[in-house]
Amino acid sequence: MPVFPLLLLSLLALPAAAEAVSDGPYLQFTPDRTAVTARWVCDDNIRQQQIKLDLAVPVICGFNKPIRVDTQPPAGWQFQSPRFAAISDIHGQYDLMLQLLQAAGIIDAEHNWRFGRNHLVVVGDVMDRGEQVTEALWLLYTLQQQARRAGGALHILPGNHETMVLRGDLRYVHPHYLQVAKQLQTPLPELYSKETVLGQWLRQLPLFIRINDTLFVHGGLSPQMAARPESAEQLQTAFQQSWGLTKAELANTDLPQLLQRSEGPLWYRGYFSSKHNTPFDAQLLRQQLADFGATQIVVGHTSMDDVYQHHNGLVYSVDSSIKKGKSGAVLHFIAGKWFRSGLDGVLKSVPAAPAASRQTND
């Protein structure tokens, strides 16, 4: 064998050089909370700056817009709006999220809010799986401020994947982020600790919200939840307190445990399958929704190939498998009617789910 092909063969056999990593910013409050320490990884180099809270965090690398730190907590959980939209389970697919929101007229070509006084709900699971979680989180963070200034609102609900990452379950994290954490010499969950801007923001998210008579929650309300005596406000508070509990503490307290487990609002799939949950009971769900002042519910978490309605419009599912990075859909409510839009932005009616569209692997 001539030398050249041999050399070529040995070169091909070499492991590919690891791609240089860029990501950020990661913002941690200073102990007196008057500034943040901002860190980026830019082509494998750590960049760090301290920035006063009244100044914008500049673009160094990673997310491509300046960031204004805003520590204002979410404004309650009940809203009224003649028009709203919902999207869910982004899972780090930032580019696809941008395309869908742009096509739906919710953001403009520069990725700014153009939805006016309307509301957008992101029904959980922005984190895990994909490679652009940081960009997705900061864009939503920025849009939330723009929406508020425009008299509209962007609501973000927690999904089970937010609780997994923040509580240190890293099974679904893209390897990119393990690389970033290693370079920053910080365990990944600490990059989202309650001393960080995103960590504090994520821990304040409401477990559910209601717009008009539509309730939004990541997984759904299970019959086990129906049996709870707590008010909606008490459930919100218990959920927020559950962030601070260790695994052992969770196991000893029944409500926080329910909120974090498979019959809880972030994990439940019983509207679509009775494989892991108690069989679906429409009458019970109607009663449950009435307790929250709602007549229908919008959920993410269970992946399908589009946005669908189920059980004669009692349930709308909005996890349209954006996680695959290829296509997805947005649910719209416009003056009393439901629509969906995809990458072409055309509004179409929301069909009942065909049985074959159901998956359960979130």
| Of residues 152 and 265, the one with the C-beta less far from Zn ion | 265
The structure tokens listed for 30 are: 């200073």
The least CB distance from residue 13 to Zn ion, in Å, is 40
Q: Where are the alpha helices (DSSP H) in the chain?
A: 3-13, 94-103, 133-149, 160-166, 175-183, 197-203, 223-226, 232-242, 247-251, 254-260, 282-291
Q: Does 362 bind Zn ion (CB under 5 A)?
A: yes
| Of residues 130 and 159, the one with the C-beta less far from Zn ion | 159
Q: Which region, judged by CB under 5 A, interacts with Zn ion, from 12-20, 91-99, 296-304, 336-344?
A: 296-304
Q: Torsion angle of alpha carbons 345, 347, 350, 356, nearest 10°?
A: -40
Query: Which residues, 6 or more positions from 230, have their beta carbon under 8 angstroms from its beta carbon?
Result: 238, 255
For Zn ion, which residue of 28, 36, 62, 125 counts as binding (CB under 5 A)?
125
Q: Which region, judged by CB under 5 A, interacts with Zn ion, from 41-49, 59-67, 155-163, 308-316?
A: 155-163
Q: Which region, judged by CB under 5 A, interacts with Zn ion, from 125-133, 136-144, 201-209, 246-254?
A: 125-133
| Of residues 67 and 299, the one with the C-beta less far from Zn ion | 299
C-alpha distances in Å from residue 33, one per residue of 28, 81, 134 = 9, 35, 22
Q: Which region, judged by CB under 5 A, interacts with Zn ion, from 42-50, 130-138, 153-161, 189-197?
A: 153-161
For Zn ion, which residue of 152, 159, 270, 328 counts as binding (CB under 5 A)?
159
Cα distance from N-terminal residue to C-terminal residue, the chain: 52
State the DSSP string of 158-179. Answer: --HHHHHHHTT--TT--HHHHH
The least CB distance from residue 362 to Zn ion, in Å, is 5
| Of residues 160 and 236, the one with the C-beta less far from Zn ion | 160
Q: Does 160 bind Zn ion (CB under 5 A)?
A: yes
Q: Does 163 bind Zn ion (CB under 5 A)?
A: no
The least CB distance from residue 148 to Zn ion, in Å, is 26
The least CB distance from residue 323 to Zn ion, in Å, is 10
Residue 324 phi/psi, 5-degree rounding, is -80, -10
Q: CA–CA separation, 212 vs 84, rounded Å?
A: 10
The least CB distance from residue 235 to Zn ion, in Å, is 18
The least CB distance from residue 14 to Zn ion, in Å, is 39
| Of residues 57 and 136, the one with the C-beta less far from Zn ion | 136
The structure tokens listed for 137 are: 């989180």
Q: Is the omega angle on the peptide bond into residue 25 within 30 degrees of 0, that is, cis?
A: yes
How many residues line the site for Zn ion (CB under 5 A)? 5
Q: Does 162 bind Zn ion (CB under 5 A)?
A: no
Q: Does 128 bind Zn ion (CB under 5 A)?
A: no
Site map (CB under 5 A) of Zn ion, residues 70-109, x = contact:
----------------------------------------
Q: Which region, judged by CB under 5 A, interacts with Zn ion, from 38-46, 74-82, 199-207, 294-302?
A: 294-302
For Zn ion, which residue of 301, 310, 323, 340 counts as binding (CB under 5 A)?
301
Is the C-alpha dihedral spanning 160, 74, 192, 150 positive or negative? positive
Q: Are 56 and 186 in contact (CB under 8 A)?
A: no
The least CB distance from residue 257 to Zn ion, in Å, is 18
Q: Are 328 and 319 in contact (CB under 8 A)?
A: no
Pairing of strands 153-156, 119-122: parallel
Q: Which region, judged by CB under 5 A, interacts with Zn ion, from 158-166, 183-191, 229-237, 308-316?
A: 158-166
Q: CA–CA separation, 206 vs 209, rounded Å?
A: 7
Q: In what order do the strands lie in the sheet with 337-341?
A: 153-156, 119-122, 83-87, 330-334, 337-341, 348-349
The least CB distance from residue 301 to Zn ion, in Å, is 4
Which residues sit at the interface with Zn ion, rule CB under 5 A?
125, 159-160, 301, 362
